[in-house]
Chains A and B, each alone.
Chain A
Amino acid sequence: GQQVMQIPQYQHVQEGEDFTTYCNSSTTLSNIQWYKQRPGGHPVFLIQLVKSGEVKKQKRLTFQFGEAKKNSSLHITATQTTDVGTYFCAQGYSDKLIFGTGTRLQVFP
């Protein structure tokens, strides 16, 4: 079946450090979505990327879609303790929304 791998699986950073998670697909993607799940919470939509090479920013978060539309990244500049959670990429595939394996971010004050 379709697989979407994310790396790293876990990341611990000191507050103020940057963080990046990468999402890789075995096939070309029509679009990619990113979600954040706080501890004990539910996934919440952050953004969708559609175009090859697209870059979008939300405050300290930068999202990128690869030129070949097979990978994507989420970069957080100067992490804060409120950034703690698991970040998932997701892709539509065969009438299903498939989630990546997720990257769990821990931020130490």
Chain B
Amino acid sequence: DTAVSQTPKYLVTQMGNDKSIKCEQNLGHDTMYWYKQDSKKFLKIMFSYNNKELIINETVPNRFSPKSPDKAHLNLHINSLELGDSAVYFCASSKGVLSTEAFFGQGTRLTVV
């Protein structure tokens, strides 16, 4: 069983579209994250979600919104996609926020054309 699973693995879409990426973890963790990895491999945190509290990175455009139907899921919805949104998006989870290891999903490669 995959601990943290993301779907889809690849996503190609046109500018202006709205898309969602799903993430599920079966580890019973309380904290989930979304990261964006650009072409230079920088891993930038977008959101962390801990016990129903959402921590937003202030640099993330409000076109991006996380949605958590329950503790095991944290989906990422993106409105009005732009070329600069092309990147690999990783979901991750951990027991706590600061002092325990994070488990990552396989990543979703988003290409906006």
Q: A residues within 8 Å of B by Cβ?
A: 1, 30-31, 33, 35, 37, 41-45, 48, 50, 86, 88, 90, 92-99, 101-102, 104
Whether A92 and B99, one on each chain, are in contact in the complex, defined by CB atoms closer than 8 angstroms, is yes
Q: What 1/0 flags go to B50-92 for Cβ under 8 Å of A?
A: 1000010111000000000000000000000000000000101
Q: Report the contact-size class of chain B (Cβ under 8 Å from the partner).
A: 20 to 34
Known contacts A43-B90, A43-B104, A86-B41; is-contact A95 B99 (Cβ 8 Å): no
Whether A99 and B45, one on each chain, are in contact in the complex, defined by CB atoms closer than 8 angstroms, is yes
Number of A-B residue pairs at CB separation under 8 A:
67
**B25 CB within 8 Å of chain A:** no
Question: A31 vs B96: C-alpha distance in the bound complex, in angstroms?
Answer: 13
Known contacts A42-B90, A48-B99; is-contact A102 B48 (Cβ 8 Å): no
Whether B99 and A31, one on each chain, are in contact in the complex, defined by CB atoms closer than 8 angstroms, is yes
Q: Which of B58, B94, B106 sits near A97, CB closer than 8 Å?
A: B94
Residues of chain A contacted by B48 (CB below 8 angstroms): 95-97
Residues of chain B contacted by A97 (CB below 8 angstroms): 33, 45, 48, 92, 94, 97-98, 102
Whether B104 and A30, one on each chain, are in contact in the complex, defined by CB atoms closer than 8 angstroms, is no
Whether B41 and A104, one on each chain, are in contact in the complex, defined by CB atoms closer than 8 angstroms, is yes
Q: Which of B33, B42, B55, B58 sits near A101, CB closer than 8 Å?
A: B42
Q: Is the interface of A mostly helix, strand, loop or mixed?
A: strand
Least CB distance from A47 to B in Å reads 9
Whether A102 and B43, one on each chain, are in contact in the complex, defined by CB atoms closer than 8 angstroms, is yes
Question: A50 vs B99: C-alpha distance in the bound complex, in angstroms?
Answer: 9
Least CB distance from B18 to A in Å reads 25
Residues of chain B contacted by A96 (CB below 8 angstroms): 33, 45, 48, 55, 57, 97
Residue on A nearest B91 in the bound complex, by CB: A42
Q: Which of B43, B57, B98 sits near A92, CB closer than 8 Å?
A: B98
Residue on B nearest A86 in the bound complex, by CB: B41
